[in-house]
Amino acid sequence: MMNEQQVRELLGQLQDPFLHKTLLETEGIREVKIKEEKNHVSVKLAIAKTATPEQMQLQMKVVDALKQAGVGTVGIRFEELSPEVLASFRGTGTESDVQDLLSPLNKVEFISIASGKGGVGKSTVSVNLAVALSRLGKKVGLIDADIYGFSVPDMMGIQQNPKVEGNRIIPVERFGVKVISMGFFVEDNAPIVWRGPMLGKALDQFFKDVEWGDLDYLLLDLPPGTGDVALDIHQMIPTSKEIIVTTPHPTAAFVAARAGAMALQTNHEVLGVIENMAWFQSKTSNEKEYVFGKGGGTKLAEELRVELLGQIPLGQPDWDEEDFAPSVYAETHSTGKMYGEIALKIINKLT
């Protein structure tokens, strides 16, 4: 029967599937227990990312290695390496690791924009936050992950499609933001009738096959609600920060709480709440009219125990026919300044 040292030496030669370093180098063998009378070995291993196909492949290698060494039965538990340990290995991975946004070695910060229901202006918030972060000097990408209701290209006034170089997709850049959307790959605004597996493959391509380059932030405009696509994205991406969008209406805020609950249940931190359509300000009287009532954003933030990042009024940007982008507020517009203030809050929270 093997002893603990022999088990550690044997398994220490296996590689973490993401870091491409041995478990000895990563100090990934956390615990070894041996029951000689049952010829049983149980181990606890720490790797870069759990609940993945790569974890399953490593698990099979561990079992094979131990059984070939004469062990009868094997038990394995996995946990994730700490962010500090992962940070120490950044810059040591392969080129494919760096290009793959889902790799634990990639330092990009994911910010998901979610809502409990449609019609609250989630995509408008996503677009303007991305532009505001870019204006503050950050390298920003934006994935229009609302597969069925894609609208980001139109909102940003994007006319061209992504280019393909080799097997890599080059995102379209507008206002300093790199953008990818299902809208680029659908002709004439055709409806999407794909089912789950096909949608999952498309989203996977958005992360792995797009030449994003070096990013500080990647924003995801999530589908509204808590359906399959939203859940798939939550499970697909590493732990991210999430912003919940609501209107002041009590029902909208009540439904939005479900999106916050999903984020927390899938280990995604809620960064804060943005209340959209908070009021309408008349140009003639300059008075604020609370079209959808008051208090929804504040109540939701209190319920989720997070900050109310900002309140955005109901209105539309000033359109420029020469550089048409129907949903992007100018940096000098009063609402554009509000988005700038929210973006600065986000940067400060994540620094």
Chain centroid, CA 92 distance in Å: 23
Distances (CA, A) of 322 to 173, 282, 300, 326, 335: 17, 27, 40, 12, 21
Q: 108-350 — its CATH code?
A: 3.40.50.300
What's the pLDDT tens digit per position in 11-27?
999 999 888 889 999 99
What's the pLDDT tens digit per position in 138-186?
999 999 987 777 889 999 999 888 898 888 889 999 999 999 988 887 7
Give residue 281's pLDDT: 87
Mean pLDDT of all residues in 78-107: 70
Cα three-residue angle 166-160-119, rounded to 5 degrees: 115
Is the pLDDT at 266 greater than 80, yes or no?
Answer: no
CA distance linking residue 276 with residue 312, whole number of Å: 5
CA distance linking residue 273 with residue 278, whole number of Å: 12
Give residue 280's pLDDT: 92
CA distance linking residue 279 with residue 157, whole number of Å: 26
Sign (positive or negative) of CA dihedral 67, 68, 70, 76: negative
Is the pLDDT at 226 greater than 80, yes or no?
Answer: no
Classified by CATH at the fold level, domain 4-88 comes out as GMP Synthetase; Chain A, domain 3 (3.30.300)
Q: Treating both helix axes as pointing N-terminal to C-terminal, what angle do 250-265 and 296-304 enclose, rounded to 10 degrees?
A: 20
Which residue blocks in 136-240 are alpha helix, DSSP H?
152-155, 196-208, 228-236
pTM equals: 0.75
Is the pLDDT at 68 greater than 80, yes or no?
Answer: yes
CA distance linking residue 316 with residue 324, whole number of Å: 13
Give residue 95's pLDDT: 45
Is the pLDDT at 70 greater than 50, yes or no?
Answer: yes
Is the pLDDT at 321 greater than 90, yes or no?
Answer: no
What's the pLDDT tens digit per position in 284-301?
888 889 988 888 899 888
* Higher pLDDT pick, 200 / 287: 287
Cα three-residue angle 320-326-330, rounded to 5 degrees: 60
Do the beta carbons of residue 274 and residue 125 sit within 8 Å? Answer: yes
Mean pLDDT of all residues in 49-61: 87
Q: Residue 78 — left, alpha, or beta (φ > 0 → left; ψ -120 to 50 → alpha)?
A: beta
Q: SS3 of 198, please?
A: helix
Q: Which residues pair with 77 in a beta bridge?
A: 44
Structure confidence at residue 230 as a pLDDT band (50, 70, 90): low
DSSP 225-267: SSSHHHHHHHHHSPS-EEEEEE-SSHHHHHHHHHHHHHHHHTT
Give residue 270's pLDDT: 87
Say how many C-beta atoms besides its own lie within 10 A of residue 258's C-beta: 16
What's the pLDDT tens digit per position in 302-313?
888 899 999 999
Is the pLDDT at 94 greater than 60, yes or no?
Answer: no
Tell me the percentage of the chain whose pLDDT exceeds 90.
44
Give residue 175's pLDDT: 95
| Domain assignments of the chain as residue spans, ordered by start | 4-88, 108-350
**179-193, 202-216, 219-233: least confidently modelled range:** 219-233
CA distance linking residue 316 with residue 338, whole number of Å: 14
Give residue 101's pLDDT: 73
CA distance linking residue 218 with residue 144, whole number of Å: 11
Give residue 114's pLDDT: 85
| Mean pLDDT score across all residues of the chain | 84
**83-97, 174-188, 316-330: least confidently modelled range:** 83-97
Give residue 331's pLDDT: 93
Q: Which residues pair with 33 in a beta bridge?
A: 42
Distances (CA, A) of 309 to 223, 225, 278, 322, 338: 21, 21, 13, 32, 10
Task: Please name the helix (run of DSSP H) or strand (run of DSSP E) that holds residue 94, with its range, or none.
Answer: none
CA distance linking residue 180 with residue 131, whole number of Å: 14
Structure confidence at residue 54 as a pLDDT band (50, 70, 90): confident
Give residue 129's pLDDT: 97
DSSP 305: T
Sign (positive or negative) of CA dihedral 105, 111, 269, 51: negative
Give residue 89's pLDDT: 76
Give residue 8's pLDDT: 94
Most confident range (mean pLDDT) of 161-175, 230-244, 253-267 is 161-175
* Higher pLDDT pick, 339 / 147: 339
Give residue 5's pLDDT: 93
Do the beta carbons of residue 277 and residue 122 sit within 8 Å? Answer: no
Give residue 84's pLDDT: 80
Tell me the percentage of the chain whose pLDDT exceeds 70.
84
Mean pLDDT of all residues in 191-220: 75
